[in-house]
Amino acid sequence: MNVKDILAEKIAGEITLSPKPGQTIKKWRTVFGLSQTELADFLGLSPSVISDYESERRKSPGIQAVKRIIKAFLEIDEKKNNGKVLRKYQFIAKTHEGILDIMEYPYSIPINKFIEEIGGKLLTSKAANVRKDVKGFTLIDGIETIKTISAASYPNLYGWSIERALIFTNIKYGRSPMIAIRIHPVKPSIVVYHQPGAVDPLAIQLAEREDMPLVVTNIPLDELKKKLVSLGR
Residues 63-107: tens digit of each pLDDT: 899 999 999 999 999 998 888 888 877 655 555 567 788 887 877
- Predicted confidence at residue 233, as pLDDT, reads 65
What pLDDT is recorded for position 149?
A: 63
More reliable by pLDDT, 195 or 125: 195
The answer to whether the pTM exceeds 0.85 is no
Can 3-88 and 96-230 be said to share one CATH topology? no
* Structural domain boundaries in the chain: 3-88, 96-230
Phi, psi of 232 (to 5 degrees): -95, 10
pLDDT number for residue 116: 93
Burial of 20 (0-12, 13-18, 19+ CB in 10 A): middle
pLDDT (tens digit per residue) in 29-57: 998 999 999 999 999 999 999 999 999 88
CATH code, 3-88: 1.10.260.40
Structure confidence at residue 223 (pLDDT): 93
Fold of 96-230: 3.40.1390
Taking only the tens place, the pLDDT of each residue in 152-171 is: 666 667 766 788 999 999 98
